[in-house]
Amino acid sequence: MADVAVIGAQWGDEGKGKIVDWLSARADVVVRFQGGHNAGHTLVIDGKTYKLSLLPSGVVRKGCVGVIGSGVVVDPFALLAEIERVRAQGVEITPKNLMIAENASLILPIHQELDQMRETSNDGVKIGTTKRGIGPTYEDKTGRRALRLVDLADPKTLPAKIDNLLGHHNALRRGLGGADVDAEALLKTLLEIAPKATAFARPVWRELDRARKEGKRILFEGAQGVLLDVDHGTYPYVTSSNTVAGQAATGSGLGPRAIGYVLGIVKAYTTRVGEGPFPTELDDETGRRLGERGREFGTVTGRQRRCGWFDAALVRQSLKIAGVDGIALTKLDVLDGMKELKVCVGYRIGGEDFDYLPASAGDQAAAEPVYETMKGWAGSTEKARSWAELPAEAVKYVRRIEELIETPVALVSTSPERDDVILMRDPFQD
């Protein structure tokens, strides 16, 4: 029996929410290990829709414990608001079924303000962030000045830590034309929410070690996707954390041997939100059709996603970097009725052919996709739960993708509903 890490293998928005929920039905613990409330996922359970940003998917299931690891940056205000919203839908959330790493770094209002100042400034590169303070918080964490959840439990030392943090932030704000932060007001706000937020604080590493020794099934839930990884993504148009499977060990407090199987979530076409290179992007009627049929709007921001053909070269690259054992192919039904499909198998840059996307931003922007054309299918794949229910050309498409990305398909998702899945290999039993 393997503990499973689930990560996105493209630029995020691959449909991780449904797959994580499908797996969490058989998990005892679900762990978020990186990112923040900039990552959204939608779950549809028995006709009821849950939109989660920071909470692990497992919290909506009875008997399952949700864990927010130290690799996650936590906005305590957004967290408490999300807890109340989910509670209003009839889900019980208490310190018994939700625990947060006491050493998790906190996103504060000043981080969101700095994010907004930078994105609206006329200077520097516009990344197209969600403006939720994720990047500035990771900067403070790396700079060893961030406030952590455990700090809220110590009112005596909190003022000095706030002063240390503001010594950095006020200098940045002045440079961007902003006013200094009122330290007393910030302290008062934090002390008001401290009891509610710290009620969930735990030494998560210890709790997870205990769960593992007891033979509990642990599911590690990633956010964003490999192509947004701060080291391996299309830099600088990336997120501020590592999104690869290795981060599941670091961001949870368990060692790498705890991860028995890595499942990469891959959409049957490609989407991206925000700025950055996108070799297979379709700025035409086909691209608009993919966006409309796939309902390609962000769960958190509502922003329309850019759409394009499936990029096998880029997915193969991300799967190898992340150490993926098998993939879950999602949104195959969005391609129903298309007469012709194209798959990117490489790139041409400055007259030279590449079977991967180079790290240079200039090369990435200049990359021209090399396509392989495949026949589409007239029938429907929607709600299929076996290979026999798929049109022959759809099966060929899946098998060809499998060959090109050099990774087996473990399951195929054929609708937003949780049980509409074709299972070839159970990650928990691998």
Catalytic residue annotation: 13, 41
List beta partners, residue 41.
52
Nearest to 353 by CA among 370, 332, 334, 376: 370
Q: Check residue 151 and give left, alpha or beta (phi > 0: left; psi -120 to 50: alpha).
A: alpha
Residue 313: enclosing H or E segment and its boundaries?
helix 312-322
- Return d(Cα 294, Cα 10) in angstroms, integer: 16
Burial class (CB in 10 A: 0-12, 13-18, 19+), 59: buried
| Residue 86, CA atoms < 13 Å, CB-side half-sphere | 25
Give the torsion through C-alpha atoms of 18, 20, 26, 28, to 10 deg. -140
Number of DSSP helices (H) and strands (E) in the chain, helices first: 12, 18
Residue 55 contacts residue 37 (beta carbons within 8 Å): no
Question: Which among 389, 384, 380 has a CA at the least distance from the CA of 414?
Answer: 384
Q: How many CB atoms lie within 10 A of CB 148?
A: 18
Q: Which helix (H) or strand (E) holds 214?
A: none
With a CB cutoff of 8 Å and minimum separation 6, the contacts of 425 are: 326, 408, 410, 411
Residue 387 backbone class (left: φ over 0; alpha: ψ -120 to 50; beta: rest): alpha
